Structure 1
Amino acid sequence: MALINSKYFFTSLIILVALFGVGVEGTVHKVGDSSGWTMMGVDYQAWASSRTFQVGDSLLFEYNNEFHDVTEVTPHDFELCDQSNPLAKYQTGSDTVTLTKPGFQHFICGVPGHCDIGQKLDILIFPASLGPVAAPVPGPARSPSSSMSPSPSPFADSPTNAPQFQMGPSPL
């Protein structure tokens, strides 16, 4: 019996790997494209609005670190271009920031005056997408007195105590 259960475990594992992928990396967005992170010639609001950012993606900031930095700030400090209380500060000239949670993230250049003339970026990060395939979700509990017949299992010869799944709506 243990051999049969392990067979279904590994079959289920293979199906889950196929649905979710393993080690799938998100998109790398080079901030400002070929211009990079600079205070001249890039409209970062327009740049960001032409892209979709998701959890797992990353931002690549490339810039001359003798003249610029990347400072992550709160929404309030973003509006004021205030770099005095950074959430994070990057100064290498080639910094990758991985987007780890949905919501807004705000970046400015912390060099005085640069943010004020437009070297600032705010982005909206969406939850990671599973694409056209929905995530498996546990099915509803069935009562023994239910008049509905159970839905067929994707594994016709699976034990009756095996977990059953149904496809649910996409998380987006």
Structure 2
Amino acid sequence: MAIHRSLVIFAIVALMVPAISLTTDFVWAKDKQFFVGDTLVFTYNATFHNVYKVNGDDFQSCTVPSNNSLVFFTGNDTIKLATTGNEWYVCGVIGHCDLGMKLNITVVDGTGPAADPSAA
């Protein structure tokens, strides 16, 4: 039986959050290993946020292309990591990515110890 690992990476629980507090520090992900088969869980207030999967250039410039169909907006989105390589995610609400609501991870092949989602 495969071990199902979920990483909670995005949690916004307040109904209204001042813009200055939107800065989200995803530095914790820098030292984490992400494996094919892992599941990312984005939990957020869908009234004020969303999640877009973008490419590296769009991640750096905080740009969400108008033809991007890889948008998540339920407030409880799960993304199964199916391939190796870099993955980039941003909040598509104007200004949020610039304030730090973005995530860059590298997915590798293999397996590792199950991560504790509460440690995120």
TM range (shorter): 0.7 to 0.9
Q: State the identity as a percent.
A: 34
Higher share in helix: 1
User: Quick one: which of 80, 88, 93 aligns to 1:111?
Assistant: 93
User: Quick one: which of 55, 58, 74 aligns to 2:39?
Assistant: 58
Query: TM-score, with normalisation over the residues of structure 1?
Result: 0.56
Aligned to 1:27: 5
**5+ residue gaps in structure 2?**
14-20, 114-120
Query: TM-score, with normalisation over the residues of structure 2?
Result: 0.78
The 8 Å contact of residues 50 and 75 in structure 2, kept in 1 or not, is answered as: yes
Q: How many residues align?
A: 105
Give CA-to-partner distance per residue, 1:74-125, whole Å, 9 cap, x none: 1111111111242510000000000000000000000010001100001000
The 8 Å contact of residues 43 and 77 in structure 2, kept in 1 or not, is answered as: yes
Aligned to 1:72: 53
Aligned to 1:121: 103
Higher share in strand: 2
Bigger relative contact order, structure 1 or 2, given CA contacts below 8 A and separation 6+? 2
Q: 1:99 to 1:77 in 2, by over 3 A?
A: same
Aligned to 2:16: none
**5+ residue gaps in structure 1?**
1-22, 132-172
